[in-house]
Every structure is written in C-alpha cells, then in structure tokens.
Amino acid sequence: MARIQVKKGLRTADRNLMKITIPTEISTGFIYACMGFGKNKPDADSLELIKTASEQVLALADPHAVYREFPLGITEELEELYILNEKNKLEGKAIAEHLAGCNQCILMAVTMGMQTDKLIRRTQITDMARAVALDACASSLIEDLCDQINLQLTQEYEKQNKALTSRFSPGYGDLPLTAQNIFSKLLEMEKKIGLTQNSEHLLIPRKSVTAVIGIKPVKNHNKSKTMTIEENREACKVCKIKDTCTFRQHGGFCGKK
C-alpha cells in the first residue's frame, strides 16, 4: 500500500446536515433480494404486500444525514491507517486496500429516524410477513438515500478534479464494528442527527448507515459514468462471510455504490 501523507491545513469544517429527498418509489431489486426472491419476480400477493409496505415506509421516513471531510494518515511504526489523528485508527487490511492512494476521506452517516424502527417492531407482534416486507423496504430505502448522497458528493468532487471510492462501512471485510466509535466522535452523530449505537456497536435507529469514502486526485479527469450493479459489489469481494452470505446468494449486496 502506498504511503498516505497527511495534508496540512486541510479544510475539515463541518458541512452540517445534508438535505436529501425522499423518493416517490423504493428500488425493488434490493427488496426482492432481502425477502429471498433473488432475481425471480414475486407472486401477486407478495407484490401487493411489498407495495403497501413501501407506502408505509415512505410515509414515515424522516431521513437525515451528516458528513465531513478529513485527512488520512499512516502511523510511522506499524503503518496503520488513521483519520485526522492516531487516536482514530481504522483496523484491517480491507479498508487499507480500499483507501490506498487516498490522502483524504469523507465520513458519512445517514438515518431513517426512529418511526420506521417502531413500525417494524410493532408489526412483528401481529404480522410477521408484513414486518419482513417493511424491513426489506426500509433497508432498500436507506441504500437509495445513500446512493443519492454518493451522487451529490461525486458531482461536487468532480468539480475539484477528484474522484471518490465506493463507500465502505464498519462490519465490511475485517473493519470491525468498533469503528463506529470513530464515526460517532468525529461526526457528532447523536448531536447532529440523533444517531447512536448500542453496546455491540449496532446503530440506533437500526435503519441507519455509516460509511467512509476515499478521495483521490485524478490526472485525466473525465465525467463519471453510471456504475453497473456488478461494479458496485466491491464490499462482497472483501467480506469475511461472502461465501456463506444468504443475502448475497439471493442476489443482494451491502451498499449499492
């Protein structure tokens, strides 16, 4: 891995809350994968269940996001990757490879809000099939929102002649969930968007995402093209459970971009 130099005087001002738009529809491919249909079209009853579940999720969604830009560095002794200072080390080979060649990164956090979580929990008591559909719809929507942010950031950094890597979240590959502590501290997630974590470092509200995106300078800057689904499956390549993941077997994957 190439040595990453810390860029002195890098602007790390908080960009505060990011405005994101709730789409009129939720991507169905991700929903089908979550529910075990894979590439097969669900039956009529399932399609109706998904339709009504999507409408409920869209009606309750209250998304918020926050992101900040930080410098990246490597410790002199063990060449461990860190964000901003050596107190914020990113463990694992997968994230080091993902951010190779980057001297800056973006930390982002996105949440759907508590109402979606509450709806799913209530429905689990009375109608498990509907609860599964609601969960799948919420999971797909949070990915749609992350893709929306990805697109906005890509367009912004293109103007600076910089390219972005795909997003990489705690729990991918060998990056431990304890990395959530770095996001929580540097993004002030609880203060900014009400996003916390439990003792096992799982996010609360549950339908939330944190991710790091690398920033690279590009010599020959070209307008980015829309990536295909196969090109966006980078997380699967480094994931520890890629060979046994039932979600992946049904055609799904974590993180669309």
Whole-number pLDDT of residue 234: 54
User: Which stretches of the chain score pLDDT less than 50?
Assistant: 1-15, 220-232, 244, 246-247, 249-251, 256-257
- Structural Rg of the chain based on CA atoms: 19
Whole-number pLDDT of residue 224: 42
Tokens of 138: 């919420």
Q: How far is CA 58 from CA 23, 139, 147, 166, 250, in A?
A: 8, 12, 16, 26, 24
pLDDT tens digits, one per residue of 167-178: 999 999 899 999
Alpha helices in the chain (DSSP H): 28-34, 44-60, 93-98, 114-126, 128-158, 180-187, 189-193, 234-238, 246-249
Whole-number pLDDT of residue 74: 86
Q: What structural domains and CATH numbers belong to the chain?
A: 25-249 (3.40.109.40)
CA atoms of 63 and 254, how far apart (whole Å): 19
- The pTM is what? 0.81
CA atoms of 159 and 153, how far apart (whole Å): 10
Tokens of 45: 């009853």
Place of tokens 């429905």: 123
Whole-number pLDDT of residue 187: 93
pLDDT tens digits, one per residue of 226-241: 333 444 455 566 555 5
Whole-number pLDDT of residue 48: 97
- Looking only at the bridges linking them, the beta strands covering 203-204 and 196-197 are antiparallel
- First-to-last CA distance in the chain? 23
